Amino acid sequence: SECVAVSYVYGLKQISDDIELMLGRRPSYFWLICWRYLMPVAVGVIFISSIIEIMTEGVVYEAWDPDKAEHVFLPW
């Protein structure tokens, strides 16, 4: 999500200029495409799949059961 914020809020041209200032060369088109298009899609897919998982399976957490001497998964 930081890549999305940097790409769209700070600006892809500005971050490319900063990288060129630090490294002496601009990032390749591969990185520009990743930051502009692939990362927002990936973050969106992960976010939506997380929401779907929470809605279908519920929220659970792992806890230690001293009686059974093992980890158990309990609902919130």
Taking only the tens place, the pLDDT of each residue in 20-44 is 999 999 999 999 999 999 999 999 9
For residue 1, pLDDT beyond 80: no
**What's the CA angle centered on 8, arms 10 and 17, to 5 degrees?**
45
For residue 66, pLDDT beyond 90: yes
Range(s) of the domain holding residue 65: 2-75
Q: How far is CA 14 from CA 21, 24, 30, 64, in A?
A: 10, 15, 17, 49
pTM, rounded to two decimals: 0.70
Number of domains in the chain: 1
CA trace torsion 49, 29, 16, 21 (10° rounding): 130
Q: Please report, rounded to a whole number, the percentage of residues in the chain having pLDDT higher than 90.
A: 75
Mean pLDDT for 65-72 is 92
Q: Facing residues of 73 across strands? A: 62
